[in-house]
């Protein structure tokens, strides 16, 4: 009689003894797991999670019917658990199931924060990466072998990580400091208007990876005129973050649609074409910005009622990065949460070598899978980043920066730092950040309605001018007595002039005869409002007579806007 040969490594489907043992151990562990978790009570409802269907159930006491209870666990489990001796009828077993559910729930209250979708989260100080179809716990003590360990998504006493759209798995290899410099140079290889914008963009993208782990999240708005490389920058961010980010486009996207798609994810949000050309889109962006404001701190959920009378709570813990031709930030509550960064259109002779360098770096990132390594490094460094953010925030506060502005700069600066370095921030680093904050108008808060109204006026882009704003037309018209720019401005009731003492200013004809006022302020909070009264509240602005035609002696009233209020 021939003895059957043992499987060899060449036999299809063959596994080693260690693999067989590991598989059996995993099967035993899966069998020992309870089929459902009791998550607590929410009002008069009991909240459960069923492993088999990977669903949440919100039931009132009457909904604990025998049929419904089978969604939590099979009949055989109920019988084995509640009637191990087999003395009860099936009806009696299922009658006891309600008492069992109440007993396992106890007096715990359901916490929406215990339900987590995809992204990076804080669990007892450690970073947990929920990749949709797998959960990874990052372990600093395990760095030599592997920086992370797969863990169960539904562990007793831990947050519940609901399955979602699969995200990229972490890389076994983390980004080195040298490779981090490549990533930083890649973000820098764009036509930034200000040198520090590249560094701040790197920090914004980096901290967005840790949206669910950090206590505070900053947001970025990239203003980019046509031809300045907005699409290239967005694609660069997408190359680094990959499918870890959630992507939206255009203001046809509603706040409700965005909220429901995120479903309490803590993934970065990339929003392209955040531009408005009508009142409906402007109003829609206002509601999306309200979500953004909530996401900044993100500790309070947004609760919405459903058609079935049951409420759903969404935790907004996402860092937003928006792209548009012109920013739509109006309120001071938004300006204190959002960095406005700018790209500018440059001559081809300037941009050609820049984008050649960009393409070379992009090829290096693709071939070396640096995007996935970058994300893995940042998740692994999450505790260090958060600790350094707090130290830097305290330092900036001592230097006189107000609370939220200190948090914004600390979060972005410390995050960018750990892309290229594994050491803590030095006193020199902290002072560099303080100097950057003190010398800039980032996150500048406009104190009153008048200043915001003036910003809207100067930031308006006439339809005939493409992406150029009235502010840009004024700057160009001020250098010439007669120009095409002056003609465009005068169509909108703006006149560039010199005062008797030689100072430059602009007069704005804020009268009923100026029919363009309704066009300029359409969709804003000043639509239909007497903007003259609003603008006269701005310090330095006053009403004076001026000549609309320098060759004619007749004068009209207008609001005098000093040039320094325009070129700030």
Counting residues of the chain whose pLDDT is more than 90, the rounded percentage is: 37
Q: How many helices, marked H, and strands, marked E, lie in the chain?
A: 20, 20
Please answer whether residues 365 and 371 qualify as being in contact, where contact means their C-beta atoms are separated by less than 8 angstroms: yes
How many CB atoms are located within 10 Å of the residue 360 CB?
12
Q: What is the pLDDT of residue 394?
A: 93
Q: What is the pLDDT of residues 100-116, one digit of tens each?
A: 998 888 778 888 778 88
Mean pLDDT of 161-166: 89
More confident residue, 443 or 515: 515
Mean pLDDT of 132-152: 79
How many CB atoms are located within 10 Å of the residue 171 CB?
18
More confident residue, 209 or 254: 209
Tell whether the model's pLDDT for residue 7 goes beyond 60.
no
- The values of phi and psi at residue 45, to 5°, are -105, 150
Short-list 492, 484, 526, CA closest to 509:
492
DSSP string, 518-567: HHHTTTSTTTTS-HHHHHTTSTT-EEEEE-SSTTS---EEEEEEEGGGT-
Cα maximum dimension of the chain: 122
Short-list 134, 132, 103, CA closest to 118:
132
More confident residue, 220 or 14: 220
Please give the Cα distance from 377 to 45 (Å, whole number): 41
370-401 core/surface letters (b: 16 or more CB in 10 A; e: else): bbbbbbbbbbbbbebbbebbbebbebbeeeeb
- The values of phi and psi at residue 481, to 5°, are -70, -45
Q: What is the pLDDT of residue 11?
A: 47
Please give the Cα distance from 177 to 180 (Å, whole number): 5
Tell whether the model's pLDDT for residue 64 goes beyond 50.
yes
99-101-106-108 Cα dihedral, nearest 10 degrees: -150
Residue 536 pLDDT class (50, 70, 90 cuts): confident
Sign of CA dihedral 275, 277, 279, 280: negative
Tell whether the model's pLDDT for residue 362 goes beyond 90.
yes
What tokens were used for 568? 């700030």
Please give the Cα distance from 197 to 436 (Å, whole number): 11
Tell whether the model's pLDDT for residue 175 goes beyond 90.
yes
Please answer whether residues 302 and 258 qualify as being in contact, where contact means their C-beta atoms are separated by less than 8 angstroms: no
Q: What is the pTM of this model?
A: 0.70
Determine which of 197-211, 337-351, 422-436 has the lowest per-residue pLDDT on average.
337-351
Radius of gyration (C-alpha) of the chain in whole angstroms: 30
How many CB atoms are located within 10 Å of the residue 62 CB?
9
Alpha helices in 370-424 (DSSP H): 370-380, 382-398, 403-420
Mean pLDDT of 267-291: 82
Please give the Cα distance from 227 to 331 (Å, whole number): 28
Mean pLDDT of 231-257: 90
Determine which of 40-44, 108-112, 526-530 has the lowest per-residue pLDDT on average.
526-530
Let me know the angle formed at the C-alpha of 245 by 390 and 344, rounded to the nearest 5 degrees.
Answer: 80
What tokens were used for 60? 């009132």
How many CB atoms are located within 10 Å of the residue 457 CB?
26
Q: What is the pLDDT of residue 17?
A: 57
Tell whether the model's pLDDT for residue 228 goes beyond 90.
no
Mean pLDDT of 14-18: 56
Q: What is the pLDDT of residue 24?
A: 58
Q: What is the pLDDT of residue 510?
A: 85
Mean pLDDT of 77-84: 92
11-14-16-17 Cα dihedral, nearest 10 degrees: -120
Q: Which residues contact 125 (CB under 8 A, 6 or more apart)?
A: 383
Tell whether the model's pLDDT for residue 236 goes beyond 60.
yes
Please answer whether residues 236 and 198 qualify as being in contact, where contact means their C-beta atoms are separated by less than 8 angstroms: no
Q: What is the mean pLDDT of the chain?
A: 83
Q: What is the pLDDT of residue 59?
A: 92
Highest mean pLDDT out of 312-321, 345-354, 396-405, 481-490 = 345-354
Short-list 487, 484, 537, CA closest to 510:
537
Mean pLDDT of 248-265: 83
């Amino acid at each position: 009689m021939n003895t059957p040969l043992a499987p060899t490594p060449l036999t299809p489907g063959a596994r080693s003894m260690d693999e067989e043992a590991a598989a059996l151990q995993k099967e035993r562990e899966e069998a020992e797991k309870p089929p459902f978790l009791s998550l607590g009570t929410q009002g008069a409802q009991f909240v459960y999670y069923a492993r088999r269907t990977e669903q949440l159930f919100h039931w009132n006491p009457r909904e604990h019917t025998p049929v419904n209870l089978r969604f939590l666990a099979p009949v055989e489990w109920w019988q084995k658990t509640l009637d191990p001796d087999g003395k009860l009828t099936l009806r009696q077993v299922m009658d006891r199931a309600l008492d069992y559910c109440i007993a396992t729930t106890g007096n715990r209250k359901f916490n929406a924060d215990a339900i987590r979708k995809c992204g990076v989260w804080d669990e007892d100080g450690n970073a947990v990466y929920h990749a949709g179809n797998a959960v990874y716990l990052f372990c600093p003590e395990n760095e030599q072998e592997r920086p992370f360990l797969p863990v169960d998504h539904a562990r007793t006493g831990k947050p519940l990580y609901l399955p979602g759209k699969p995200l990229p798995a972490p890389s076994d290899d983390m980004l080195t400091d040298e490779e981090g410099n490549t990533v930083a140079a890649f973000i820098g290889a764009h036509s930034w208007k200000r040198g520090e914008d590249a560094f701040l963009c790197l920090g914004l993208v980096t901290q967005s990876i840790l949206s669910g782990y950090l206590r505070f999240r900053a947001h970025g708005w990239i203003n980019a005129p046509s031809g300045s490389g907005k699409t290239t920058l967005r694609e660069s961010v997408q190359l680094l973050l990959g499918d870890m980010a959630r992507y939206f486009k255009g203001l046809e996207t509603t706040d409700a649609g965005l909220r429901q798609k995120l479903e309490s994810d803590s993934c970065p949000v990339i929003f392209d074409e955040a531009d408005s050309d009508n009142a409906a889109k402007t109003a829609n962006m206002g509601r999306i910005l309200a979500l953004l404001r909530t996401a900044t701190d993100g500790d309070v959920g947004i609760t919405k009622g459903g058609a079935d009378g049951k409420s759903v709570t969404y935790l907004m813990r996402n860092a937003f990065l928006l792209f548009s031709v012109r920013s739509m930030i109006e309120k001071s509550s938004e300006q204190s949460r959002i960095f406005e960064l700018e790209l500018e259109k440059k001559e081809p002779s300037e941009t050609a070598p820049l984008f050649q360098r960009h393409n070379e770096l992009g090829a290096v990132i693709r071939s070396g899978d640096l995007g996935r390594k970058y994300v893995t490094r940042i998740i692994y460094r999450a505790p260090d980043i958060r600790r350094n953010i707090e130290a830097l925030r305290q330092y900036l506060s001592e230097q006189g920066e107000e609370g939220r502005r200190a948090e914004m700069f600390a979060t972005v600066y410390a995050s960018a730092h750990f892309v290229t370095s594994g050491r803590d921030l030095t006193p020199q680093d902290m002072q560099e950040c303080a100097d950057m904050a003190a010398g800039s108008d980032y996150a500048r808060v406009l104190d009153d309605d008048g200043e915001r109204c003036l910003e809207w006026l100067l930031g308006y882009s006439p339809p005939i001018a493409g992406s150029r704003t009235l502010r840009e037309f004024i700057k160009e018209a001020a250098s010439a007595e007669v120009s095409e720019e002056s003609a465009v401005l005068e169509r909108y009731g703006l006149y560039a002039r010199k005062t008797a003492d030689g100072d430059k200013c602009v007069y704005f004809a804020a009268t009923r005869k100026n029919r363009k006022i309704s066009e300029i302020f359409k969709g804003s909070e000043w639509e239909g409002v007497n903007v003259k009264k609003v603008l006269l509240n701005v310090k330095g602005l006053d009403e004076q007579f001026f000549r609309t035609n320098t060759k004619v002696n007749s004068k009209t009233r207008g609001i005098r806007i000093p040039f320094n209020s325009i070129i700030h």
